[in-house]
Amino acid sequence: MLLVAKDSRLRSALWIITYLDKRVSYGEGGFGAVSQKLYSMLTRLQMGLIEDKMDWTVELKPAKAY
């Protein structure tokens, strides 16, 4: 996923999904319906607003100071 931002606001996204030998890209002209839905779901998952049923998120704890 490549996000393009200007002035701290997200302007457009280019989503590249690769599976085995196939590569598909979405959203070259900005957010389309599929790109917007995927971006929204991933953002809500990262923020803990929806349940992570697949255990995709991992909480990182600060390293101990030596």
Measured distance CA(28)–CA(5) in Å, rounded: 14
- At 35, list the tokens: 């790109």
9 pLDDT exceeds 60? no
Q: What is the DSSP string of 3-64?
A: EEEETTEEEEEEEEEEETTEEEEE-TTS--HHHHHHHHHHHHHHTTSS--TT----PPPPPP
- pLDDT tens sequence across 20-59: 888 877 666 666 677 678 778 888 888 889 998 988 888 8
